[in-house]
Homo-oligomer: A and B are copies of this chain.
């Protein structure tokens, strides 16, 4: 194997990425080296690309970016127990410490010492990425590459839906971005008897309907609370899945929720949110769940079961598959809202290492 590879790198503070040669990552005793084949573009990547306030505070260049991906195992460390060279895999991008209370009790997804691939350590927009064996996920042959490449954000949707519990319930989803759209499919497949999508963008509402929403509404629609009540026996929705991070959407979603309902919050507000806790949560007896990452590895098993059984088709939201060399165009498409989900191909033009 060559000692260098091509990668998308944030070389120094400032906007943009650079396609450059960097060393192939070292493979520790417990690590798996993966030849990346396809990788998904995420909002997080966009933050890092555009170098916004969050990125400036969090990212320490130089850094290979990217965390949603699939590929083939190229090498394994000396202490790797089960994963073998040649296996087709994806990976959980949150590297937990595996020694704290949370990691030792099945909650590694909220480990306090988590490092995120492509954020806190070198990532997957590259020919190779090194990942601890614990985080590697063997792919079922029935899962197409493009779908496997976005198991990470799909897993966010699955985690949110499964944490809230939607079986034979009515569900409101605020925010019909790529994760919100996947959540529509997942919620239906997981047994929701009604799925209502809300967004500020009419085009996304149309997409939401096509992906299975029973109805989709503009957040600005007059008397949306009344509309939801009429559709839910007068009670309001059983479940809110908040995917936007918008303060207005959080308040709206909680208003649409029935007393005793459950709200799962995945969207990240950029700043503090002013909430009427008394009327939105306390008197209503609402349960609010903070959702982060994917459960290791319940979420991965669930995601596989949903895709493999044909209950969901997450590939339906992938609007573009582009060669990784076209990354600037990809970010431009996302910036302009002309793409829903973009997958980069790292295999077509492989310079054999």
Q: Which residues of A contact B (CB under 8 A)?
A: 29-30, 78-79, 81-82, 98-102, 104-107, 109-112, 158, 162, 165-170, 189-194, 214, 233, 235, 250, 258-260, 265-266, 268-269, 271-278, 281-292, 295-298, 301-302, 305-306, 309, 311
Give the docked Cα–Cα distance between A99 and B134 (Å): 9
Which residues of the partner chain B approach A282 to less than 8 Å between Cβ atoms? 265-266, 268, 290-292
Other than the given A110-B283, A266-B282, A273-B274, 11 more pairs (CB < 8 A) read A102-B258, A102-B260, A110-B260, A166-B167, A167-B190, A167-B191, A168-B189, A169-B305, A193-B306, A269-B277, A281-B290
What is the chain B residue whose CB lies nearest that of A309?
B193
A162 to B311 Cα, complex, angstroms: 19
User: What distance in Å separates the Cβ of A164 from its nearest Cβ neighbour in chain B?
Assistant: 10
- Please determine whether A110 and B168 come into contact, CB atoms closer than 8 angstroms: no
Are the CB atoms of A301 and B101 closer together than 8 Å? yes
Whether B278 and A275, one on each chain, are in contact in the complex, defined by CB atoms closer than 8 angstroms, is no
Given A193-B311, A286-B290, A290-B287, A29-B297 contact (CB < 8 Å): no
Task: Determine the chain B residues whose CB is within 8 A of the CB of A269 once the complex forms.
Answer: 277-278
Complex interface: chain B residues within 8 A of A98 (CB)? 81
State the Cβ distance, A168 to closest chain B Cβ, in Å. 5
Mostly helix, strand, loop or mixed at chain A's interface?
Answer: loop
Query: What are the residues of chain B within 8 A of A162 when measuring CB–CB?
Result: 167-168
Min CB–CB distance A266 → chain B (angstroms): 7
Instruction: State A285–B278 Cα separation when bound (angstroms).
Output: 21
Write out the residue numbers on chain B whose beta carbons fall within 8 Å of the beta carbon of A101: 233, 235, 258, 301
Closest residue of B by beta carbon distance from A258: B101
CA distance A268 to B282 in the complex (A): 7
Decide: A287 and B285 in contact? CB cutoff 8 A. no
Across the interface, A107 reaches (CB within 8 A) one of B30, B112, B285, namely B285
CA–CA, A100 and B273, complex, Å: 32
24 contacts between A and B (CB under 8 A): A79-B79, A81-B99, A102-B260, A105-B106, A105-B295, A105-B301, A107-B260, A158-B168, A168-B190, A168-B305, A189-B191, A190-B191, A193-B306, A194-B309, A233-B301, A266-B282, A268-B282, A272-B277, A282-B290, A282-B291, A284-B290, A285-B292, A288-B289, A288-B290
* Nearest CB in chain B: distance from A274 CB, A: 5
Least Cβ–Cβ distance between A353 and chain B, in angstroms: 27
A77 to chain B, nearest CB (A): 9
Q: A167-B165, A297-B105 are in contact. Are A273 and B277 (CB under 8 A)?
A: yes
In the bound complex, what is the Cα–Cα distance between A259 and B170 (angstroms)? 29
- Tell me whether A106 and B106 are in contact in the complex, defined as CB-CB below 8 angstroms, given that A167-B190, A290-B281 are known contacts: yes
> What residues on B are CB-neighbors of A104 within 8 Å?
296-297, 301
Distance in angstroms from A284 CB to nearest chain B CB is 6
